[in-house]
């Protein structure tokens, strides 16, 4: 219990700075709140005077006009101040939500590749969504329900103590304390059902999104039924929690009604007794009753508010936990900006492991002189693609160093580093938008002509024009409407537009047929001229004219040299070449 309390306070303290930037508005809203409550509490006092002045014993001959008018004015003030408070505070709530949402979004982009490989997108987007909604809920209810109710309870208790027998205050207070204790107790017990509902909701959503993204795979294996059953398993737990949630709510409401009825009956009995004995007037009876009803109206809401505030805190905690996720790769304090048009890359005794006990690279040493092309070949799992991830600084090396023009990557500003590198990956993932948008993504501020030029350089311009919608053609989620070769060409156009001094081709043509591959090969060669290029390849024919070829096996470089030299060496590379040539001949 104390643990969740601590977390709740932590969550609140995380939120405070976002609110404090609007401190004037917050102070104004609180002042309006207190004014509204003063007006509200004065209403029964005026009502008592009206009732007493109309009492036949006092022979009222005229309508107490001034009292009636002030009664109306106070009621109006209570409402108007309340509305003004909401209006003043709206900017605080919405401003804080926007700021937090923006920061979470930016933070998620700062987190390492490792985090993103392990996350579940569907569930995570639900967490962020619920977290931002939670902020609005928390602020509105804490400030506009709990705080005003407390102010009002204190004011009423003061008036009752001053004007009447101490028992009125005792009963009023006693009822409120009992009511609050009962409400909080039951709500706390109900929270577990709600948490289960939330978890299952996220889980079902993750499963649904996952299953729909992999629609084709589901169809290949006839697993629609299996997917539906997995989805339903989460919904089943959700349903059972939702039913318990509803039943316990009815129990809570009934209990609250009993406590209130009990308190009101006692008080009205006391007041009626006072009137009979002549110690109180009819106006006093009306006053006490009006006060009670005024106090219980917001309290009636308390269980709901408390529960929602707890949920909001839980939802926000999940979101702020995302904010607290440590970005593995961060810039040092005075990171240098990389600015060069010719980059020489050096891997110096680089060791790397994704997990502590599984080393991927062992003492890898090589250089790519500025403007030259180095190719890395080897069987899958040899650690070839890890080189490009390290060069992009998605991860930091475990040992050794990677440098560009003699500067260690860890000393460089990540944004400036990545601005210098263009990649054509094996699996090009495109945004679910137009072809134009996807090419322009390489340099979002590029002019229309530059985008067209990039498409021409990547030899995809004619293909795009042949489509009915041309550059406005939508590519579908993750680019599924385009063939492999078309997607690769979009990736090449995007990289040409970025115009970086360093290029990485990561198995860029392995998914293509021989004819397309040969065509794209020529295009890659064209764009890599005079740029520092790292080619990761499986097929050796694609790298035969590289300036140097590195052969990797189990994270180590076992051979290096030009194509000719490696064939003459007659070892690993020559063997791979023979095997692949044999395959080519059979085709």
Mean pLDDT of 543-549: 88
pLDDT of residue 58: 63
Q: Binning pLDDT at 50, 70 and 90, where does residue 520 land?
A: confident
pLDDT of residue 298: 74
The answer to whether residue 566 scores a pLDDT higher than 70 is yes
Q: At what angle do helices 147-163 and 166-213 cross, to 10 degrees?
A: 170
pLDDT of residue 585: 56
- The dihedral sign for the CA sequence 525, 433, 389, 341: positive
Give dist(CA 284, CA 272) in Å, integer: 9
Instruction: Name 407's Cβ contacts closer than 8 Å, sequence gap at least 6.
Output: 336, 338
40-49, 70-79, 257-266, 504-513: segment of lowest average pLDDT: 504-513
The answer to whether residue 59 scores a pLDDT higher than 80 is no
**Half-sphere CA count of 215, side-chain side, radius 13 A:** 6
Q: Percent of the chain at pLDDT above 70?
A: 95
The DSSP element (H or E) to which 530 belongs, if any, is none
- The dihedral sign for the CA sequence 488, 490, 496, 501: negative
Burial class (CB in 10 A: 0-12, 13-18, 19+), 404: buried
* CA neighbor of 113 nearest in space, from 484, 510, 391: 391
Predicted confidence (pLDDT) per residue in 182-238, tens digit: 988 888 888 788 888 888 888 888 888 888 888 888 899 999 999 999 999 989 998
333 contacts 413 by C-beta, under 8 angstroms: no
The DSSP element (H or E) to which 13 belongs, if any, is helix 2-20
Mean pLDDT of 487-498: 88
Give dist(CA 556, CA 546) in Å, integer: 20
pLDDT of residue 430: 84
Domains and CATH numbers, the chain: 2-324 (1.20.1560.10), 427-499 (3.40.50.300)
pLDDT of residue 275: 84
Q: Binning pLDDT at 50, 70 and 90, where does residue 62 land?
A: low
Predicted confidence (pLDDT) per residue in 268-287, tens digit: 898 888 888 888 888 888 88
168 contacts 183 by C-beta, under 8 angstroms: no
| Lookup: tokens for 567 | 């064939």
Residue carrying structure tokens 């140097």: 548
Mean pLDDT of 323-344: 82
Give dist(CA 136, CA 391) in Å, integer: 42
CB neighbours of residue 297 within 10 Å: 11
DSSP 474: B
Give DSSP secondary structure letters for 350-397.
EEEEEETTEEEEEEEEEEE-TT-EEEEEESTTSSHHHHHHHHTTSS--
- Residue 114 vs residue 365, higher pLDDT: 365
Burial class (CB in 10 A: 0-12, 13-18, 19+), 453: middle
Predicted confidence (pLDDT) per residue in 288-301, tens digit: 888 877 777 777 77
SS3 556: strand
Q: How many helices and strands (H and E) does the chain possess?
A: 20, 10
Give DSSP secondary structure letters for 197-254.
HHHHHHHHHHHHHHHHHTHHHHHHTT-HHHHHHHHHHHHHHHHHHHHHHHHHHHHHHH
Predicted confidence (pLDDT) per residue in 429-476, tens digit: 888 888 999 999 988 888 999 999 999 888 889 989 998 888 998 887
| Lookup: tokens for 134 | 């939670």
Instruction: Name 448's Cβ contacts closer than 8 Å, sequence gap at least 6.
Output: none
Q: Binning pLDDT at 50, 70 and 90, where does residue 1 land?
A: very low
Predicted confidence (pLDDT) per residue in 133-143, tens digit: 888 888 777 77
Mean pLDDT of 490-516: 82
Burial class (CB in 10 A: 0-12, 13-18, 19+), 119: middle
Alpha helices in 458-571 (DSSP H): 461-466, 484-498, 514-528, 563-569
Mean pLDDT of 545-562: 90
Residue carrying structure tokens 């795009």: 464
What's the mean pLDDT when you consider all of the chain? 84
Please give the order of strands across the beta sheet that includes 345-355.
Answer: 358-368, 345-355, 399-404, 407-408
pTM of the model: 0.67
HEC readout, 410-453: HHECHHHHHHCEEEECCCCCCCCCEHHHHHHCCCCCCCHHHHHH
Mean pLDDT of 398-416: 91
Q: How far from 40 is each of 33, 36, 300, CA to CA, in Å?
A: 11, 6, 17
DSSP 336: B
Angle at 548 between CA 396 and CA 404, to 5 degrees: 35
């Amino acid at each position: 219990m104390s643990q969740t309390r601590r977390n709740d306070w932590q969550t609140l303290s995380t939120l405070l700075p976002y609110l404090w930037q609007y401190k004037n508005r917050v102070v104004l809203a609180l002042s309006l709140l207190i004014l509204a409550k003063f007006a509200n509490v004065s209403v029964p006092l005026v009502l008592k005077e009206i009732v007493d002045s109309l009492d036949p014993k006092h022979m009222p001959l005229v309508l107490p006009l001034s009292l009636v008018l002030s009664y109306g004015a106070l009621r109006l003030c209570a409402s108007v101040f309340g509305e003004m408070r909401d209006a003043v505070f709206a900017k605080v709530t919405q401003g804080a939500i926007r700021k937090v949402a923006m920061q979470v979004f930016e933070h998620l982009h700062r987190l390492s590749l490792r985090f993103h490989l392990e996350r579940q997108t569907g569930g995570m987007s639900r967490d962020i969504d619920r977290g931002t909604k939670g902020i609005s809920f928390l602020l509105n209810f804490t400030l506009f329900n709990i705080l005003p109710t407390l102010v009002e309870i204190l004011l009423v208790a003061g008036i009752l103590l001053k004007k009447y027998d101490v028992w009125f205050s005792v009963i009023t207070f006693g009822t409120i304390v009992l009511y609050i204790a009962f409400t909080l107790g039951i709500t706390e017990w109900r929270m577990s059902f709600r948490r289960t509902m939330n978890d299952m909701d996220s889980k079902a959503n993750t499963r649904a999104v996952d299953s729909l993204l992999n629609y084709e795979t589901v169809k290949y294996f006839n697993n629609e039924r299996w997917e539906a059953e997995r989805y339903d398993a989460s919904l089943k737990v959700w349903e059972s929690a939702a039913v318990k949630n509803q039943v316990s709510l009815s129990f809570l409401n009934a209990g609250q009604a009993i406590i209130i009825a009990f308190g009101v009956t006692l008080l009205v009995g006391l007041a009626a007794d006072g009137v009979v004995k002549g110690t109180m007037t009819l106006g006093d009876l009306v006053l006490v009753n009006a006060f009670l009803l005024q106090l219980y109206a917001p309290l009636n809401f308390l269980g709901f508010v408390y529960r929602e505030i707890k949920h909001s805190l839980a939802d926000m905690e999940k979101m702020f936990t995302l904010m607290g996720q440590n970005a593995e790769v961060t810039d040092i304090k005075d990171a240098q900006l990389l600015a060069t048009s010719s980059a020489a890359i050096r891997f110096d005794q680089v060791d790397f492991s994704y997990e502590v006990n599984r080393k991927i690279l062992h003492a890898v040493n090589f250089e790519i002189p500025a403007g030259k092309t180095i190719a890395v070949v080897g069987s899958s799992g040899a650690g070839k693609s890890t080189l490009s991830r390290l060069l992009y600084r998605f991860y930091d090396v475990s040992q050794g160093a990677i440098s560009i023009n003699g500067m260690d990557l860890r000393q460089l500003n990540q944004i400036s580093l990545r601005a210098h590198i263009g990649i054509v990956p094996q699996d090009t993932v495109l945004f679910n938008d137009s072809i134009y948008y996807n090419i322009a993504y390489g340099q979002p501020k590029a002019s229309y002509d530059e985008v067209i030029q990039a498409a021409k350089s990547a030899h995809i311009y004619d293909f795009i024009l042949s489509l009915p919608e041309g550059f406005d053609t939508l590519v579908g989620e993750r680019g599924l409407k385009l063939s492999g070769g078309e997607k690769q060409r979009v990736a090449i156009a995007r990289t040409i537009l970025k115009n970086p001094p360093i290029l990485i081709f990561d198995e860029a043509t392995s998914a293509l047929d021989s004819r397309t591959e040969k065509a794209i090969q020529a295009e890659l060669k064209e764009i890599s001229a005079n740029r520092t290029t790292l080619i990761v390849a499986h097929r050796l024919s694609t790298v035969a004219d590289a300036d140097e070829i590195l052969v990797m096996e189990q994270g180590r470089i076992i051979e290096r040299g030009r194509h000719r030299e490696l064939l003459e060496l007659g070892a690993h590379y020559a063997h791979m070449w023979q095997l692949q040539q044999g395959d080519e001949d059979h085709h």
